Structures are given as C-alpha cells and as structure tokens.
Amino acid sequence: MLFDVHAHYDDERFDEDRDILLSSMHENNVGHIINIGCDIASSEASICLAEKYPFMYAAVGFHPHEAANVKDGDYDTLIALSKHSKVVAIGEIGLDYYYGKDIMDIQKKVFREQIELAKSVNLPFQVHNRDSTRDCLMILKEANMGDRCGMMHCFSESKETAREMLNLGMKISIGGIVTFKNNVKTVEVVKYVPIEDLMIETDSPYLAPVPYRGKRNSSIYVHAVAEKIAELKGMDTDEVIAITEKNAMEFYRID
C-alpha cells in the first residue's frame, strides 16, 4: 500500500473533516502516513494522531522556520517525546534561506543540534532544505553519519546534489512537484536515483500533485507521485508502491 512519509494533518486546513478524511485512507490504498512536527505543539499533535490511527506515525522536531523559537528545555522535551513507541523520526529539521535569511546562523546551530539529538536517540531524521543546499551538505558531511541517517523531504534540487546526498547515506523523498509541468530537474533526479533509495510523500496540505494542483493536498493523492515515478522509470505503479513502502518500513523500522 502507499506510504506517505511526510504530511501535516494537525494543520488547521484539516479541522473541518480530519477524521472523515483519515478514516478513508485504507479504502484509498494508503497504508501508512508519517505526521511531521514543526515545533513542540505540532510534535505533540503528531503523536496524538499516531495514537488515534494505527496507520499513522509521528516525527518530532523543530522546522527551520521555528529555529529562533527554540527555548531552554525544549530538547529535553523532544527527547522525552521521541521515546513514544510511534515516533519514528526527528523532523522536520534543516535549513530554509528562502524565508529565513535573517536567522541563518541560528538555523545552522539548531539543525546541527537536532542531528546530534537524532543520533543520541537512535532515530533517523527528515530534512527540509530550501535555497540552502551548500550549507545543508556541509552540515550533513560534518555530522559524519552512517547508512541509516536521514531523508531529504520533498527533494527539489539537482541530480548532482542527489548524488552527493546518496553518498552521505541520505534517502530521497519525492513529492507532488515531480508531476508539475516543466520540472526537468526532479524528473532527472527520479530517473537517476535507484528505486531502493526513493520514498514518496505529499507534504499535505501543501503541494498537491497534478491533476489536483492548487487544491488542498491529502495522502490520497500520493498515488499520482507513484504513477509519475513508474512512468519515468518504466516500472509498474504497483511495483513502485510496493518498493517505496518497503523502503520506508525498513528505514523507519516499522513492522
């Protein structure tokens, strides 16, 4: 079944129909979803969703947009949250120089600290990277991690960057942007990266794939990402769904 490795169902855009929508996942062939934390409150909300729905899992962490809001004691809270049986990752962590140019140094510090935190609790992490590839690669290199370390969420960089990420032991997650018209870069990345290193995601409620572009995104639409990958790699969609599911189950240690 489809495994959406990155979604935000605690977002207010789901307030009206969250339960109805999530209850329809099984009939839409969505077998697993990881809900992502951006700060302490959304990390706790992710755990609540994971407790309510057997097919949901949680990631806990500070999004780069929140880097300046990390307070004393917050990492202790994150460590405590990470012990929950349904927490499978630290995230989303990383860098965003598109929005956060004024807090670049704080972002780098908080990114490094959360990589160390992930190592200390032995969980993989999910990385957000926007207009910050050079620093992102530098920090990941410094961190000197093993094989099962992190996943680049909604990868939108070049094939060359993908190669460097793979060399560092990172996995690549593909979102709806691969279906967007004229997105040559991500098409090349999908053709280049071995299927064993790929996962699929929606980043719901953002970035709905074609033909749903502009709508509120949901995990149901992740099938469009799987279909596009199948087309680009000359594989069956069912095969792409099965392999990306297996990749995510192993990476996030889900039975």
Sites of contact with Zn ion (CB under 5 A): 203
Residue whose CB is less far from Zn ion, 66 or 203? 203
Indicate the residue whose CB is closest to Zn ion. Answer: 203
Asked if 44 and 81 touch (Cβ cutoff 8 Å), the reply is: yes
- CB nearer to Zn ion: give 203 or 245: 203
Question: CA 243 to CA 99: how far, in whole Å?
Answer: 34
Nearest approach in angstroms of CB 4 to Zn ion is 11
Largest CA distance in the chain: 50
Nearest approach in angstroms of CB 203 to Zn ion is 5
Nearest-approach distance from CB 204 to Zn ion, in angstroms:
9
Q: Could you give the angle at which helices 74-82 and 104-120 cross, rounded to 10 degrees?
A: 40
The residue among 5 and 230 lying less far from Zn ion, judged by its C-beta, is: 5
For 211, phi then psi, to 5°, come to -95, 20
For Zn ion, the closer CB: 21 or 242: 21
* CB of 8 vs Zn ion, minimal distance in Å: 6
- Token pair listed for 25: 């996942």
CB 229 within 8 A of CB 178: yes
